[in-house]
Copies of this chain bind each other. A is one copy, B any other.
């Protein structure tokens, strides 16, 4: 792993923990194991690190939500839909790297329009669009009752987003949050799926 990558990594950790303004260049350098001025061999300055991180985040979400590849094959039963969904949520909630990205974004979302747009894509339009496609596909196969896929996507994903946010704030209730998520998804399927 290159020094540049290690800097980005430690910066993300600290920004997620204490925010951009709450983190000093010296802190970052210390975590990397170099002196602060050496950091200027890799980045033009503190803000340059921030921009590199938001570039990363944008690329990641673009790749994840933009292509249809991540949708994979459509679930073929109610139980498969539920299991797939829960697994995705559990991963998203607990994976340390994704959690750091998310906290970083939540903290800095008001910094400028670009941060705002990426946050919206991540929290709302991205996941919603992805699930809209899945639900639309399953509707065509008769697994979901006829309805507006976009609306259903919002209704299933929004509560999950709030519970994930709660788990980010209070990591000790991850299990409780996952239980709520499962209960919610099962209820959603009971209402909107066929049979």
Interface residues of A (CB under 8 A from B): 17, 19, 21-22, 103, 106-107, 109-110, 113, 116-117, 119-120, 123-124, 148, 151, 154-155, 158-159, 161-163, 165-166, 168-170, 180, 183-184, 187-188, 191
Alpha-carbon gap, A183 to B103, bound state (A): 30
Tell me which of B116, B151, B161 contacts A170 (CB under 8 A): B116
Q: What residue in chain B is nearest A169 (Cβ atoms)?
A: B116
| Chain B residues closer than 8 Å to A103, beta-carbon distance | 110
Flag if A155 contacts B170 (CB, 8 Å): no
Flag if B158 contacts A109 (CB, 8 Å): no
Alpha-carbon gap, A120 to B166, bound state (A): 6
Q: Interface centre among A17, A159, A183, A188, by most B CB within 10 Å? A: A159
Flag if A169 contacts B19 (CB, 8 Å): no
Closest 10 CB pairs of A and B: A21-B21, A116-B169, A158-B159, A158-B158, A21-B22, A154-B159, A158-B162, A151-B187, A120-B166, A124-B162
Known interface pairs A110-B103, A162-B158; A183-B116 also in contact (CB < 8 Å)? no
Question: Apart from A19-B19, A117-B170, A155-B187, what are 8 other A-B pairs with CB-CB below 8 Å?
Answer: A103-B110, A106-B109, A110-B169, A151-B183, A154-B162, A154-B184, A155-B184, A158-B162
